[in-house]
Structure 1
């Protein structure tokens, strides 16, 4: 199992409150020695990011 659909809810009392952020997460065979790939599939997010990095400490 290396492919995940992820949904992150915006934290309360933040500019992202009420937001729902949908991502595709793919773990390569080399994981954890190779970084996971994360794709934003929520095209209506105001910054319109399609591929970006996530700080795992925040999750």
Structure 2
């Protein structure tokens, strides 16, 4: 398999993962923080979740 084929297969695998199901380990703390403290106090949790989503190939 060429690197182009591998990259294509990787992207197909990522597309099957829906944003709502990605990164539960960062989404839950982010959501909890926003509920309890408000979005303006949760920049660390929001940034961690965005970074996780980007690593999975989502454009945030």
TM-score, shorter chain, exceeding 0.5: no
**Which structure dedicates a bigger proportion of its chain to helix?**
2
Bigger-Rg structure (1/2): 2
